[in-house]
């Protein structure tokens, strides 16, 4: 099993290029099956989740041609099967976007029901509610969702909870329904806007994405397009906190600074300098940072996917911070690992109370999920001594060349496969 081995203590400095947004790309790839014409998608991140979704799509008959590491041509004229295998859903929850896309185009879809996951229960009742409101019959049998409709028709849908997945899934199905759909209490995340822009570039008629009311006039057919995915705001934010925690100086390039406002605001609050450029953000931390309180919220609030990164940074800040997780119930598992590195943390329900310590020390820790795994790498980079991070397969789901990008900023980090490789690293970097 692959691990990261890290010797901490170097302030990270230099420039890093951010890849395309994984969560936008997942929605866009699924939506791309809605046309029979050929679609070119660029700026895809080369990460495990994207590659698994592409495999899932190939398994139902989508022709996928990789043009470069970051671009694919797709043709979905020959989809022979609207039934997706459990193997893929197990490996990547977001293959549920295929329900909205298949239902919109073929008026039927058979997709396994995704289970819970490491960050908590992940129901999809709102997605189903939306499909039903559009006229689909939705049944759950033998672990599968069977959705089908004679016709999909426009509807007025109110989402009880702000959900990125439900907003995107319903938007896809509604964009090929007959008539007019209004979705209220929508998620406003940049990737909702990106998927809507992509659908519009294929001929959809979607207005209001990025606000909490989306209006959709259904169309019958989509056409070919060429589209480039937006930069990944969570990858960008992760490097911004890597600069903060290691008291470094990083220019994070190929970003949309507007998407990073909640992250930048928190970094300023804890004592970093943050400088915005047209498509870059520079974060400098020249002194010990100070505590703050933070609560995760839907966009434009502070993102739940950035909660562990600020959590590990606050573990080294002066004073006591309170971090409240209001989106997923099980996102503090990394706190136990952080405590093993010497952090002073206490979790009570959906709140973590973090009293900053002067230094963390290297330990063997395990990545509990994607973002928490990346956060533990940040903690290790800021800690004294050597840390080994297990279960990095989670991190590889969403970060392209994470170790390589960190090394280019001066980090001592390596991916290893054996104790022998670990010993070599220790001898070299001890
Ligand atoms: C997406 C992101 C994930 C991020 C999350 C919140 C992708 C592929 N994943 O996940 O990285 O952490 O947004 O920003 O884009 N809920 C329901 N019923 C539903 C759907 C959701 O109750 O049918 C609840 C969830 O339990 C959660 C909240 O709504 O408490 C928000 O979840 P949601 O925005 O749907 O997250 P995902 O789309 O799964």
CA pair distance 363, 378, nearest whole angstrom: 13
pLDDT tens-digit readout, 37-73: 999 999 999 999 999 999 999 999 999 999 999 999 9
Atom of ligand 1 nearest to the CA of 161: 29
| Whether residue 117 lies in the annotated active site | yes
Q: Which atom of ligand 1 is nearest the CA belonging to 328? A: 30
For ligand 1, pick from 295, 327, 397 the residue to mutate: most ligand atoms within 8 Å of CB. Answer: 327
| pLDDT value of position 269 | 98
If we measure between CA atoms, which residue out of 396, 403, 293, 410 comes closest to residue 50? 396
**What's the whole-number mean pLDDT along residues 364-379?**
97
Q: Which atom of ligand 1 is nearest to the CA of 327?
A: 30
Residue 165 CA, closest ligand 1 atom number: 38
Distance (angstroms) between ligand 1 centre and the Cα of 108 equals 23
Q: Is 125 exposed, middle or buried (0-12, 13-18, 19+ CB in 10 A)?
A: exposed
Give the pLDDT of residue 83.
85
- Token code pair at residue 177: 């329904």
pTM passes above 0.85: yes
End-to-end CA gap in the chain: 22
Banded model confidence at residue 116, pLDDT cuts 50, 70, 90: low
Residue 122 has pLDDT above 90, yes or no: no
Q: Is 167 in the pocket of ligand 1 (CB under 6 A)?
A: no
What is the distance in A from the centroid of ligand 1 to the CA of 163?
5
Residue 32 CB–ligand 1 contact under 6 Å: no
Instruction: Provide the pLDDT confidence category of residue 339 given band limits of 50, 70 and 90.
Output: very high
The band of 89, judged by pLDDT with boundaries at 50, 70 and 90, is confident
Which residue's CA is minimally distant from atom 9 of ligand 1? Answer: 23
For 96-112, write each residue's pLDDT tens digit: 899 999 999 999 999 98
122 lines ligand 1 (CB under 6 A): yes
Instruction: Extract long-range pairs of 259-262: CB within 8 Å, 24+ residues apart.
Output: 259/190, 259/230, 259/231, 259/233, 260/233, 260/236, 261/300, 262/299, 262/300, 262/301, 262/302, 262/303, 262/306
Averaged pLDDT for residues 161-169 = 97
User: Which atom of ligand 1 is nearest the CA belonging to 127?
Assistant: 23
Coil, strand or helix at 19: coil
| Mean pLDDT calculated for residue range 159-184 | 98
Mean pLDDT of 16-20: 98
Q: What is the SS3 assignment for 304?
A: helix
Burial of 236 (0-12, 13-18, 19+ CB in 10 A): buried
Q: What is the mean pLDDT of residues 166-181?
A: 98
> 182 or 89: which carries more pLDDT confidence?
182
**pLDDT at residue 123, as a whole number:** 87
User: By C-alpha distance, which of 319, 311, 306, 303 is closest to 338?
Assistant: 311
The catalytic residue among 117, 186, 272, 401 is: 117
Preceding peptide of 200 cis, ω within 30°: no
Q: What is the DSSP secondary structure assignment for residue 234, as one 8-state letter?
A: H
Which residue do the tokens 């671009």 mark?
71
Q: Check pocket membership of 328 for ligand 1, CB cut-off 6 A.
A: yes
Q: Please tell me the distance between residue 328's alpha carbon and the centre of ligand 1 in angstroms.
A: 8
**In this predicted model, what pLDDT tens digit does every residue of 355-365 receive, in sequence order?**
999 999 999 99
Ligand 1: which of 30, 89, 161, 326 to mutate, judged by most atoms within 8 Å of the beta carbon? 161
What's the pLDDT at 86?
80
Query: SS3 for 39?
Result: strand
Residue 358, classified by CB atoms within 10 Å of its CB into exposed (0-12), middle (13-18) or buried (19+), is: exposed
**In angstroms, rounded to a whole number, what is the distance separating the alpha carbons of residues 104 and 51?**
23
Burial (Cβ within 10 Å: 0-12, 13-18, ≥19) of residue 428: exposed
Residue nearest to ligand 1 atom 39, measured at CA:
165
Determine the atom of ligand 1 nearest the C-alpha atom of 121: 26
pLDDT value at position 115? 62
**Alpha carbon of 167 to ligand 1 centroid (Å):** 10
Tell whether ligand 1 has an atom less than 6 A from the beta carbon of residue 127: yes
Least confident span in 86-95, 220-229, 253-262, 345-354: 86-95
For a ligand 1 pocket test, name from 164, 167, 192, 330 the mutation site with the most ligand atoms within 8 angstroms of its C-beta: 164
User: Does residue 388 register a pLDDT over 60?
Assistant: yes
Residue-level pLDDT at 90: 79
CB 31 within 8 A of CB 97: yes
Q: Is 393 helix (H, G, I), strand (E, B) or coil?
A: helix
Q: Is the pLDDT of residue 309 over 90?
A: yes
412 close to ligand 1 (CB < 6 Angstrom):
no
Query: How far is residue 265's CA from residue 288's CA, in Å, rounded to a whole number?
Result: 17
Q: Is the CB of 323 under 6 A from ligand 1?
A: no
* pLDDT at residue 112 in the model: 86
DSSP SS3 for 390: strand
Locus of tokens 């970097």? 429
| Residues 62, 45: Cα–Cα separation, whole Å | 19
Atom 26 of ligand 1: nearest residue by CA position: 122
Per-residue pLDDT reduced to its tens digit, 245-304: 999 999 999 999 999 999 999 999 999 999 999 999 999 999 999 999 999 999 999 999
Q: Which percentage of the chain shows pLDDT scores above 70? A: 99
Across 85-234, the runs of DSSP E, i.e. the strands, are 108-112, 137-141, 144-148, 156-158, 180-184, 205-207, 213-217, 225-228
**Ligand 1: which residue has its CA nearest to atom 12?**
305
Beta strands at 273-276 and 180-184: parallel, antiparallel or unpaired: unpaired
**Beta strands 344-348; 293-295: pairing state:** unpaired
Q: 304 CB less than 6 Å from ligand 1?
A: yes
């Amino acid at each position: 099993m692959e691990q990261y081995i890290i010797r901490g203590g170097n302030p990270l400095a230099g420039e890093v290029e951010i890849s395309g947004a994984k969560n936008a790309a997942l929605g866009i790839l699924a939506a791309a099956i809605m046309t029979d014409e050929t679609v070119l998608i660029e700026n895809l991140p080369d990460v495990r989740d994207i590659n698994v979704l592409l495999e899932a799509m190939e398994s139902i008959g989508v022709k996928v041609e990789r043009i470069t590491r970051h671009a694919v041509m797709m043709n979905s004229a020959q989809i022979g099967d609207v039934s997706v295998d459990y193997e893929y859903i197990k490996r990547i929850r977001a293959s549920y976007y295929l329900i909205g896309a298949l239902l919109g185009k073929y008026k039927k879809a058979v997709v396994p029901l995704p289970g819970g996951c490491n960050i908590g229960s992940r129901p999809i009742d709102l997605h189903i509610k939306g499909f039903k409101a559009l006229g689909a019959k939705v049944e759950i049998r033998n672990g599968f969702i069977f959705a089908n409709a004679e016709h999909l028709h426009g509807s007025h849908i109110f989402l009880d909870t702000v959900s990125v997945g439900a907003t995107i899934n319903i938007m896809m199905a509604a964009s090929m329904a007959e008539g007019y759909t209004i979705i209220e209490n929508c998620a406003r995340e940049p990737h909702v806007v990106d998927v809507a822009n992509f659908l519009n570039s294929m001929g959809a008629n979607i207005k209001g994405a990025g606000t909490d009311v989306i209006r959709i006039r259904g169309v019958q057919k989509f056409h070919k397009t060429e589209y480039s995915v937006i930069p990944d705001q969570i990858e960008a934010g992760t490097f911004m906190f890597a600069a903060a925690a290691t008291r470094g100086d990083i220019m994070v390039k190929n970003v949309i600074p507007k998407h990073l406002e909640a992250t930048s605001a928190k970094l300023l609050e804890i004592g970093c300098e943050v400088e915005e450029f047209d498509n870059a953000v520079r974060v400098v931390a020249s002194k010990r940072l100070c505590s703050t309180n933070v609560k995760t919220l839907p966009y434009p609030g502070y993102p739940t996917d950035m909660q562990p990164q600020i959590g590990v940074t606050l573990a080294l800040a002066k004073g006591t911070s309170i971090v409240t997780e209001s989106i997923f119930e099980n996102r503090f598992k990394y706190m136990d690992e952080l405590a093993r590195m010497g952090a002073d943390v206490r979790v009570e329900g959906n709140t973590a109370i973090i009293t900053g310590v002067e230094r963390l020390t290297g330990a063997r820790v395990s990545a509990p999920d994607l973002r928490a795994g990346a956060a533990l790498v940040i903690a290790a980079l800021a800690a004294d001594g050597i840390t080994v991070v297990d279960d990095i397969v989670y991190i590889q789901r969403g970060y392209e060349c994470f170790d390589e990008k960190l090394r280019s900023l001066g980090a001592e980090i390596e991916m290893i496969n054996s104790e022998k490789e670990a010993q070599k690293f220790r001898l070299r970097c001890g």
